[in-house]
Amino acid sequence: MEIYAWCIMPSHIHLVFRSATEKPEDLIGGFKSYTSRKLIKLIEENQQEAGANGC
């Protein structure tokens, strides 16, 4: 995946990317899975964030 541009919004992200080897929908699925697990872990490890979001 080659990411050319990105923008993180409060409830979603925008990506401009290209794939030479895989279907875009396969890359997006893997990207969402990976990033959601990492974000949940970071929120759990940061008690200030966990308290603010009610987790």
pLDDT tens, 30-49?
A: 888 998 899 889 888 887 76
Residue 13 pLDDT exceeds 80: yes
Which pTM does this prediction carry?
A: 0.54
Evaluate whether residue 7 is within a structural domain: no
Evaluate whether residue 2 is within a structural domain: no
In three-state secondary structure terms, 43 is helix
Q: How far apart are the first and last CA of the chain?
A: 32
Element (H, E) at 13: strand 13-18
Number of domains composing the chain: 1
Residue ranges making up the domain that contains 43? 20-55
Evaluate whether residue 8 is within a structural domain: no
